[in-house]
Structure 1
C-alpha cells in the first residue's frame, strides 16, 4: 500500500475513552487543522467543528466503469491480505474495501502511531481483480470505500475479520461465536418521514496503531452530511462471546448548509439496521420451506418506567413506523433471540449464528422515543428493519450534541434480562371462525421456573383496534408458561397487543408488544431467494 507520511507535532495531549475537554480558544488564536493533524478524539472534535463552518463538499461520484459492475463482478475484486499494513506486527491491523457497485462513497484513511499521522493512499496493487474489470480503467486516486479490522479473537489462532466500516455511516462487528448479521449506523437524519432521508456518511477514518500487548483497537471517524458534521471515536474490544464498541460522538450543525438541504428535523441516535422477511407469526412463501428468514427477530427495550419490552418484528403490506415513548432509556437493541438451526434450516446463510446488538447509554437517555421502522422487504438481500432513539428535543442552534454509549454484539439474549421470563416463541392461528385470530406465546426463564407452582399467575392484557375474546395461561412440566389469547380485529388494519404475566403487581415476564396483521401478508415469488455471504 502506497504511503504518504505527514507528521505533525501536536503536543502532550492524552487520548482516553472518555470525552476530553477542549480549552476555549479565541478566534485569533484558532489554528486551522488538516486531516493530517488529527491524532486523537480531542483534535478530531476540533476538526469536525471547524468543518461545520465550511461549505459542504458533495460526495465524489463513482467512475462509470465501477458503478456499472454487477454483484458477481464486484465480488471478484478482493483485497490482497499480504498487503495489509501492520500485519502480524500488532494484535489488530486493517484492510480496505474497493469502491464499486453499490459501494459508491469515497473515504480517506489515516494511520496514527503516537503523534505521527500517516495517510494510506489507494493502490491498485492492494487488490486482485480477476476478470471483473480492466485495472487500467481505474483512477489512481480512486480512494477507499471503507475499512475492516482483522485480528485474532481471544483463544483463537486463526486471523478473522472482526469489524467493518463501509457505506454511508454503517458499521458492523461480530464476536468469535457469531457471523456478520445486523448492522449499526453512526446517525440517522430525518428517517421515516414524509420527505427524503438525509444519509450522513463517514468521510475519513483514523486507525490508532495498537501496541503488541493491546486487547483493544481505536478507530476515529469524521461524519459528514449537508446539515451537520461529527466526530466519532470507536473503542473496540473483540471477544469470544461478546464484542463491545464504546462510542463517543460530538455533532455540530453546519453553519451554512446547502440551499437544497432541508435541515435536521429529526435525529435517529444509535440507529440499528436488520432484515426480517418471515419467522414467528408469519409463514413464508409456498416455494420456500425454510421456517424463518431473518437477521434479527425482534426489538428489546429497557426503560426505567416500563422495565423490559419485547417487540417481535412483523410484516405489514406497507412501510410501518411504530414507537414507544420513554422517559428514561436504559438500553435497546435488536436481537436474534432464536438460535436453533431448525428454526431456519439454512446452511448457507447461517441465520442461527447472526448476532444480537444491544445499545447501552453511558447515562440514561431522557425524554424521547424508541422508533421501529418495518418495510415489507422484497427479498432477504435487502435490509428492511431499522430501530433508533429519537430525542424529544434537538440541540439549540450552535450547541453541539455529545453522545456516549456502548454497542455490544453477542449471541442470543441480553444477559441482564434474567429476572423476568422471556417470550421464546409464539404462533398465530388465522383459521378460527368469525375472523377471530389466536395467539399463543411461550414464556420461559429462571424467574418463571422459580415461581411456586401453587401460586396463581395473572394476565395483564391491553388491545387496540381489536376486541379481546378469551385469554388463559397454563404452566408446562418444564416450568414454562403458555399464554393463549383469542381476539378479533375491529377494522382492516393491524391489531396492537400488549401482554404480560404478573403476580399481583409484580411483573413475571417482559411485556410482549405485537402489531398483528389482520391477514397473512403475501409474497411475490421469485423475489425471495437465499442470500449467500
Structure 2
C-alpha cells in the first residue's frame, strides 16, 4: 500500500466522528442533505452479469477527482472534512444502522460510487461538498460534483442508542478493497480485504478496488446490513455481497464471485492483513520501551482433518511465505491471544485488538492457507497476510465462486477443546552456571487448558517434538510456577547449523491421549 499503517489509523481515527450523507429518497430532502440519481433496476444476479461483461473489456482505473486538488487534501485537511451526522443515510429511519461516507484525499484518491436500494431499485447517492464540514475555504470545495468524491463508508451503531453519533462505527470500508470491524472487546485492529493478488511474490502486489457499493437496509437490530460491491482491477472483476450482523462482535457472511481477465500468480481468497513487530518470542535489546507490539500474535488453523494448530508470527529478516496444504479447511484466523495489558503498556490498547476468523461455507477444495510475513522496523506497517490459495492454477476467462463467514471476536469461534499455546519464548541454550554453547537456542512453549489441569498428581505430559533439521536436547515439561491450574510449559534446547529457517512441530500427550493443539514454528537461527 502507498499509505502506511500508522497514517491510515491516524487518519481514520481523526475522522471517526465525521458526519454522513442523507436520508432515503422517500423522505423530504434537506437543504444540505442527500440527493439521488434516477432509479434503476437492481439484483444480485444482475450485478454478477455486469461484472462478467466488465471483465471482457480492457481495464480502466476508477475515476479520480482533480488530482491537483486531491493531493492537497493531506492528513490535516482530511481530518477537517467531518461529516454532518444529522444527514446520515438512515439517520432518521428506514434502517436501524445509519451510514456515513468518507471523502477522497491524498491517501484515498479514487472515486467509489454509492447507491441506495429500495424495493428492487437502486439510486446513486450524489456527491455534494456541503455534506462535509470544513468551511467554505476548504480546498475540497474546489472539486466539482463529478466524478464523485466519495472514497468509502462507515456503519454506525443502532439509532436505538441515543449516543450512536459519538460511538465509533462498527464496520468501515475505505481504501482499495480493505474493510474492518469492531471486535467484542470494543476495539478495531487488523483488516480484511476482498482479495489479495500476489503478496510475497517477485512482482509488485496488485490491489483490486471496490468501485461501487449498493446498500440494503436492516429494519431491526436482528437483521443484517446488506452491502453489495463491485470490484475491478487489471487482472479481474468481482462481485461481493456482505451480510453484516452486529452482536457481541461483528459477523459477516460474504458471497464472492470473481472473473479473471488474465492468470494471477498467487490469488489469495478471504485475506486478512495485520501487524506484528515483536513479542515475548524474539525482542532485540532496547528496540522499544514497550514489552510487545502487535495487532495479532499468531495464525490459528482448524484444518480439514480436524487438527487445530497454532503458528506464532515472526518478523523475519526477509519476506517469508509459509504454506499449509489442506483440503476443505474448517477455518483459519489471525488472532490476538495475549490479553494482558502489562505485556503491552500502551494506551492504544493492543490487548483488546480483535481476532478475525475465516469460516468457509461449503467445500473450498484443495489448496493452502498461506502466511506471508514481511520485515518491519516499526508498528506503522501491516506486514502480515493470511489467505486461502486454491491449488489449481488460475486461468483467464474463469469464474470463481466462494462463500465464507468472517468473525470479528475476542477469540476463535470454534476453539480446540485441547490445551492451547499461550506463549513462545526463546533464549540462550545450555544450563545455568555453565558456559553457554554457541548456536544453541532454548525454547519455552507454554500451553494452558482444562485437560492439563485434570492430569493425575505427579503426572507430567510428554512433549512430542520434530524439526526439518537440527537436534533437540534437555527436553522436559513442567507446570508453570504461577499456581494457575492447567498451565504447563515444554522446555528444550535446539542445535542447528546454518542460517536457513527451520520448521518445528510440538504437541503434548499423555500415553496415547493428545493433550494440546499442535504448535508450529518457523525458527530463524541467529
Pick aligned residue for 2:134 from 129, 138, 160: 129
How far the C-alpha of 1:455 sits from its partner, in A, is: 4.5
2:219 match = 211
1:483 match = 490
Pick aligned residue for 1:429 from 427, 430, 454: 427
1:292 match = 292
Over residues 316-345 of structure 1, what are the superposed CA-to-partner deviations in whole Å (9 max), with x where a residue is unaligned? 111211121113311000001111111111
1:390–1:87 CA distance, 2 compared to 1 (3 A): same
The alignment partner of 2:61 has SS state of: coil
Over residues 184-216 of structure 1, what are the superposed CA-to-partner deviations in whole Å (9 max), with x where a residue is unaligned? 111112222111222111010001022256532
Distance 1:276 1:122 in 2: 38
Distance 2:189 2:136 in 1: 29
1:176–1:370 CA distance, 2 compared to 1 (3 A): closer
Contact 2:307/2:517 (<8 A) preserved: yes
1:365–1:450 CA distance, 2 compared to 1 (3 A): farther
Distance 2:233 2:365 in 1: 26
Pick aligned residue for 2:473 from 448, 451, 469: 469
Distance 1:132 1:293 in 2: 40
1:485–1:155 CA distance, 2 compared to 1 (3 A): farther
Contact 2:231/2:238 (<8 A) preserved: yes
Where in structure 1 are there 5+ consecutive unaligned residues?
A: 9-36, 258-262, 520-533
Q: Tell whether 2:85 aligns with 1:53.
A: no
Contact 2:460/2:477 (<8 A) preserved: no
RMSD (Å) for aligned C-alpha atoms: 2.3
The alignment partner of 1:64 has SS state of: helix
1:378 match = 377
Q: Tell whether 2:157 aligns with 1:151.
A: yes
Q: How does 1:496-511 map to 2 (within 5 A)?
A: 496-511=503-518
How far the C-alpha of 1:5 sits from its partner, in A, is: 3.4
Over residues 144-197 of structure 1, what are the superposed CA-to-partner deviations in whole Å (9 max), with x where a residue is unaligned? 111111123998954530111111111101135221100111111222211122
166-175 or 44-53, which deviates more: 44-53
Contact 2:243/2:253 (<8 A) preserved: yes
1:441–1:156 CA distance, 2 compared to 1 (3 A): farther
Over residues 449-488 of structure 1, what are the superposed CA-to-partner deviations in whole Å (9 max), with x where a residue is unaligned? 2333455522221112432223111234522111001112
Q: Tell whether 2:196 aligns with 1:188.
A: yes
The alignment partner of 1:407 has SS state of: strand
1:177–1:456 CA distance, 2 compared to 1 (3 A): closer
2:21 match = none
Contact 1:238/1:244 (<8 A) preserved: yes
Where in structure 2 are there 5+ consecutive unaligned residues?
A: 1-32, 430-435
2:123 match = 118
Q: How does 1:312-461 map to 2 (within 5 A)?
A: 312-347=312-347, 349-394=348-393, 398-411=397-410, 413-430=411-428, 432-461=436-465
How far the C-alpha of 1:131 sits from its partner, in A, is: 10
Q: Tell whether 2:76 aligns with 1:72.
A: yes
TM-score (norm 1): 0.85
Contact 2:252/2:407 (<8 A) preserved: yes
Contact 1:284/1:292 (<8 A) preserved: no
Over residues 59-111 of structure 1, what are the superposed CA-to-partner deviations in whole Å (9 max), with x where a residue is unaligned? 33451232244433332322221221210423112111111121122210001
The alignment partner of 2:52 has SS state of: helix
Contact 2:114/2:124 (<8 A) preserved: yes
The alignment partner of 1:44 has SS state of: helix
1:380–1:132 CA distance, 2 compared to 1 (3 A): farther
2:114 match = 109
Distance 1:357 1:213 in 2: 22
User: How many residues matched?
Assistant: 480
Contact 1:303/1:329 (<8 A) preserved: yes
TM-score (norm 2): 0.86
1:96 match = 101
Pick aligned residue for 2:500 from 490, 493, 497: 493
Distance 1:179 1:3 in 2: 33
Contact 1:188/1:271 (<8 A) preserved: yes
How far the C-alpha of 1:385 sits from its partner, in A, is: 0.6
Distance 1:65 1:334 in 2: 38
Distance 1:506 1:46 in 2: 53
2:277 match = 277
1:213–1:178 CA distance, 2 compared to 1 (3 A): closer
Distance 1:131 1:426 in 2: 55
1:305–1:87 CA distance, 2 compared to 1 (3 A): same
Contact 1:74/1:132 (<8 A) preserved: no
The alignment partner of 2:351 has SS state of: helix
Distance 2:390 2:284 in 1: 36
How far the C-alpha of 1:280 sits from its partner, in A, is: 2.4
Contact 1:41/1:232 (<8 A) preserved: no
1:153–1:94 CA distance, 2 compared to 1 (3 A): closer
